[in-house]
């Protein structure tokens, strides 16, 4: 990866951080409702893995902590923010909300709120790819706690039996909602659980984007070459609670402090400055430009966009004018 790419990734991670922080503010201002699960701390995972794939072409699916995955796939951050505001211009026309960002044009196949739900969906997307041909792959991002759902085992088993082109990325942030992994899970190293399904698996530092990228390249290459599924575990940490309704009281301050020293953005920034590839001024300018974009373009777009029409409440429940409902060509 050259210096320009690294700087771009730094900007993408910083953008993700500032975007999520702004979501937090908007939530406190009650502009955003419902549940809101934020991504600060985990940026290197989605951005690093997808950098090694073909965002916008490979199919991506994830859980409810989905804003950054969608944006990396190519979703317009203005539309993502508008979705959080519940607006008609939002990614899902205001019908989904934070947990259900969709951008099918960019092959972001959605955020789903049932922990573990996307495991079989990703396998199904891979099945369709396999039937249709081509070398696209299916990538599923979920957290460590999702692996305690039955769908984890059911989907991994089928993906392995049928050699499906699917990459499972486990963002292990050590907590399932508010319960620490070692209190809920017999085997803490998630990649070890996968050996039961004869799927190659690896564990990597999820805070160092260069390591994430390198591990993801191996993973993506494996899947794309037709060798079947792959499982990549990334060790990471979320700075905020599980969602906005979480007081985060279950974590030791010392633990949080230790992880903050391994911030993915700071680590890459310092490395680039040390190597003479970035100056502190450049970084500051990058940050200012991002904050300006958020305040001057993204937030006003969300604020000023129209609400969905109440008259269209029942749209999208069933297909419109489907001839087969009435017997088709009879």
Partner 1 sequence: MAEMMYWEAIRRAHDEEMARDPLVICMGEDIGVAGGTYKATKGLYDKYGPERVIDTPISENGFTGLGIGASFLGVRPIIEIMSVNFAWLAMDQIFNTAAKVRYMSGGQLEAPIVVRSPGGTAHQLGAQHSARMEKVFMGIAGLRVVTPSTPKQAYGLLKSAVRCQDPVFINEHELMYNLKGEVPDEEFFHPLEGSEVVRQGSDVTLFGYNISVHWALQAAEVLSEQHGIEAEVVDLYALSPLDRAGIAASVSKTHRAVIVEEAEPAVGVGSEVMAILDEECFFELDAPPKRVSAVNVPIPYNRQLEKAALPTAKDVVAAVLALFAR
- Alpha-carbon distance 27 to 22, whole Å? 9
Q: Does 229 bind partner 1 (CB under 8 A)?
A: no
* Radius of gyration of the chain from its Cα atoms, rounded to whole angstroms: 20
d(CA 95, CA 313): 9
Distance (Å, whole) CA 189 – CA 171? 12
Closest contact distance (angstroms) between CB of 232 and partner 1 is 19
Residues 6+ apart with CB under 8 A from 257: none
Under the binding rule (CB under 8 A), the answer on residue 2 touching partner 1 is no
What x/- string results for residues 114 through 153 when contact with partner 1 is judged by CB under 8 A? x--x-xxxxxxxxxxxxxx-----x-----------xx--
3-state secondary structure of 153: helix
DSSP bridge pairs for 61: 140
Between vectors from CA 37 to CA 33 and to CA 41, what angle results, nearest 5°? 140
Indicate which single residue of 11, 100, 240, 271 sits in contact with partner 1 (rule: CB under 8 A). Answer: 100
Sign of the CA dihedral 140, 126, 110, 15? positive
Q: Is 325 in the site for partner 1 (CB under 8 A)?
A: yes
Residue 259 as a binder of partner 1 (CB under 8 A): the answer is no
Between CA 264 and CA 6 the distance in angstroms is 12
Distance separating alpha carbons of residues 21 and 40, to the nearest angstrom: 8
Number of residues forming the site for partner 1 (CB under 8 A):
56
Taking the complex as a whole, the smallest distance from the CB of residue 134 to partner 1 amounts, in Å, to 11
x/- letters, 160..199, toward partner 1 (CB under 8 A): -xx-------------------------------------
Stretch that binds partner 1, among 109-117, 203-211, 239-247, 299-307 (CB under 8 A): 109-117
How many residues are given for the chain? 330
93 binds partner 1 (CB under 8 A): yes
| Cβ distance to partner 1 smaller for residue 226 or 258 | 226
Q: Which residues bind partner 1 (CB under 8 A)?
A: 59, 61, 90-96, 100, 102-105, 109-110, 112-114, 117, 119-132, 138, 150-151, 154-155, 157-158, 161-162, 315-319, 322, 324-330
């Amino acid at each position: 990866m050259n210096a320009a790419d690294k700087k771009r990734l730094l900007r993408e991670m910083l953008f993700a951080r500032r975007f999520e922080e702004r979501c937090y503010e908007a939530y406190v201002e009650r502009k955003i409702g419902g549940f809101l699960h934020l991504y600060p701390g985990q940026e290197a995972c989605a951005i690093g893995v997808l950098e090694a794939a073909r965002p916008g072409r490979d199919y991506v699916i994830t859980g409810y902590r989905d804003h950054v995955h969608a944006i990396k796939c190519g979703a317009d951050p203005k539309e993502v923010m508008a979705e959080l505001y519940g607006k008609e211009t939002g990614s899902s026309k205001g019908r989904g909300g934070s947990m259900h960002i969709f951008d099918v044009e960019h092959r972001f196949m959605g955020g789903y709120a049932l922990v573990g739900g996307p495991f079989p969906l990703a396998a199904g997307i891979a099945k369709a790819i396999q039937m249709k041909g081509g070398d696209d792959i299916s990538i599923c991002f979920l957290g460590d706690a999702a692996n305690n759902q039955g769908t984890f085992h059911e989907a991994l088993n089928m993906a392995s039996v049928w050699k499906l082109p699917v990459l499972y990325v486990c963002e292990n942030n050590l907590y399932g909602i508010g319960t620490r992994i070692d209190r809920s899970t017999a085997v803490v190293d998630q990649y070890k659980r996968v050996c039961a399904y004869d799927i190659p698996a690896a564990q990597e530092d999820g805070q160092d984007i260069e390591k994430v990228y390198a591990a993801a390249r191996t993973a993506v290459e494996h899947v794309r070459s037709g060798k079947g599924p792959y499982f990549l575990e990334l060790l990471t940490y979320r700075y905020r609670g599980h969602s906005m309704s979480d007081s985060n009281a279950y974590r030791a301050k010392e633990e949080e402090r230790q992880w903050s020293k391994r911030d993915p953005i700071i680590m890459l920034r310092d490395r680039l400055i040390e190597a003479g590839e970035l100056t502190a001024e450049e970084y500051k300018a990058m940050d200012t430009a991002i904050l300006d974009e958020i305040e001057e373009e993204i937030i006003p777009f969300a604020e000023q966009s129209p609400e969905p029409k109440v008259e269209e409440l029942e749209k999208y429940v069933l297909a419109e004018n489907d001839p087969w409902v009435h017997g088709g060509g009879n």
